[in-house]
């Protein structure tokens, strides 16, 4: 079957079959009844969501799926990871195929307000950059005048790229591919002078190129890319669960709670920790979850810092510095509102 027929069928199915989950009842009930969280992730982006040697999904975004599932189901979370290409991701969410989109997706105003999606939290502050071959002798994005750039279709990247070259009055050519792997292969073959995506993605994709040192990431960051999970509009409770799961991850790091010690805090003295673990008050109730929801989150994937270091930072092959994603107390932007 050719592409247009396939796409058309998918869209018709989306449009015609009544899209009930958003309106009929809270997503949480549907997930509980099904017993599984359907979580949309990247097809394969090291550090965010990619299958490992054993076929398990790993990465910051995959961890976020696990954290949400743990908050809902406790210590026996069931998750179905649904790998999605950039251009399929919103349709998959709108049609109810997935409950949660955790796929390095940039929060933009039009996506948040006109596309039936809700973003509410940022789990990775990113920005778009360029990768070039070292041998090309390019030191700055300003040297890319007249260059050809490879990019993936259906992303904010395409728009930032056009904005950047227009602002700097540089001419360029763009070659657009559907999948990041094809785009990267074309860059590697020499079809393009530069490859562009979010900076974190550049470091992760560079690992696929074999001779990593032959490629450099240029210093310019040309856009703001706040990446975060998205859900369907119209289910406040579900949106709260997603937002507070991320706050629990960050809050745990602020409080010094880790995967190793979070289970032993029942007698902690610090009232903030007591509220976090459910020893005081019942904050899970407000989002339809158990008292110990936050403990389950941290037990499943560790705190935000642990998940970051394991997937993207020093504990990974990618070794990205935390930068903007440090806690606010350390000069970064990650900040969790208090649980009280």
Binding site for another protein (CB under 8 A): 2-5, 7-8, 11-12, 14-16, 18-19, 22-23, 86-87, 90-91, 94, 110-111, 114-116, 145-148, 150, 153-155, 158-159, 161-163, 165-166, 172-178, 182-183, 185-186, 189-191, 193, 232-234
- Quick count: other Cβ atoms within 10 Å of Cβ 280? 15
Task: Please state, in angstroms and rounded to a whole number, the distance separating the CA atoms of residues 217 and 132.
Answer: 7
* CB-nearer residue toward another protein: 16 or 211: 16
* CB-nearer residue toward another protein: 5 or 267: 5
User: In terms of residues, how long is the chain?
Assistant: 340
* CB-nearer residue toward another protein: 181 or 220: 181
Q: Nearest CA to 51 among 25, 83, 75?
A: 83
* CB-nearer residue toward another protein: 7 or 260: 7
Minimal distance in Å, beta carbon 90 to another protein?
A: 5
Minimal distance in Å, beta carbon 59 to another protein?
A: 22
Largest CA distance in the chain: 64
Task: Please state, in angstroms and rounded to a whole number, the distance separating the CA atoms of residues 20 and 246.
Answer: 27
* CB-nearer residue toward another protein: 34 or 166: 166
**Who contacts 118 (Cβ-Cβ below 8 Å, separation ≥6)?**
112, 230, 231, 232, 233, 239
Task: Please state, in angstroms and rounded to a whole number, the distance separating the CA atoms of residues 148 and 170.
Answer: 12
Q: How far is CA 135 from CA 132, 141, 158, 214, 215, in A?
A: 9, 15, 25, 7, 8
Minimal distance in Å, beta carbon 118 to another protein?
A: 9
Minimal distance in Å, beta carbon 170 to another protein?
A: 11
Q: How far is CA 3 from CA 8, 10, 96, 178, 224, in A?
A: 8, 11, 22, 12, 33
* CB-nearer residue toward another protein: 94 or 316: 94
**Who contacts 7 (Cβ-Cβ below 8 Å, separation ≥6)?**
none
Minimal distance in Å, beta carbon 312 to another protein?
A: 26
* CB-nearer residue toward another protein: 74 or 154: 154
Minimal distance in Å, beta carbon 98 to another protein?
A: 14
Q: Do residues 117 and 111 make contact, with C-beta atoms less than 8 angstroms apart?
A: yes
Minimal distance in Å, beta carbon 126 to another protein?
A: 18
């Amino acid at each position: 079957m050719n592409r247009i027929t396939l796409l058309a069928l998918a869209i018709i199915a989306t449009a015609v079959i009544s899209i009930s989950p958003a309106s009929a009842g809270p997503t949480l009930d549907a997930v509980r009844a099904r017993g599984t969280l359907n979580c949309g992730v990247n097809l394969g982006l090291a550090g965010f969501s990619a299958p490992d040697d054993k076929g398990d999904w790993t990465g910051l975004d995959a961890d976020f799926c696990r954290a949400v599932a743990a908050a809902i189901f406790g210590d026996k979370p069931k998750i179905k990871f649904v790998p999605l290409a950039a251009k399929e991701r919103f349709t998959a969410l709108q049609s109810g195929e997935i409950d949660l989109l955790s796929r390095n997706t940039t929060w933009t105003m039009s996506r948040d307000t006109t596309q039936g999606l809700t973003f509410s939290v940022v789990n990775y502050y990113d920005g778009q950059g360029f990768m070039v071959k070292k041998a090309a002798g390019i030191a700055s994005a300003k040297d890319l005048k007249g260059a050809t750039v490879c990019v993936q279709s259906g992303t904010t990247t395409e728009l930032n790229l056009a904005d950047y070259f227009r602002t700097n009055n540089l001419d360029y050519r763009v070659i657009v591919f559907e999948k990041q792997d094809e785009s990267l292969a074309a860059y590697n073959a020499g079809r393009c002078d530069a490859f562009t995506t979010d900076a974190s993605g550049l470091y992760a994709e560079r690992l696929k190129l074999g001779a990593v040192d032959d490629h450099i990431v240029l210093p310019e960051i040309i856009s703001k890319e706040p990446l975060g999970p998205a859900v369907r509009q119209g289910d406040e409770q579900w949106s709260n669960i997603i937002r507070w799961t991320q706050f629990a991850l960050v809050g745990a790091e602020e409080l010094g709670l880790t995967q190793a010690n979070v289970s032993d805090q029942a007698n902690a003295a610090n009232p903030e920790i007591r509220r976090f673990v459910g020893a005081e008050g019942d904050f899970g109730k407000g989002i339809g979850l158990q008292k110990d929801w936050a403990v389950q989150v941290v037990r499943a994937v560790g705190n935000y810092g642990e998940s970051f270091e394991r997937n993207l930072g020093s504990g990974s092959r990618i070794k990205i510095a935390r930068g903007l994603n440090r806690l606010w107390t350390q000069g970064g932007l990650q900040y969790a509102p208090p649980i009280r």
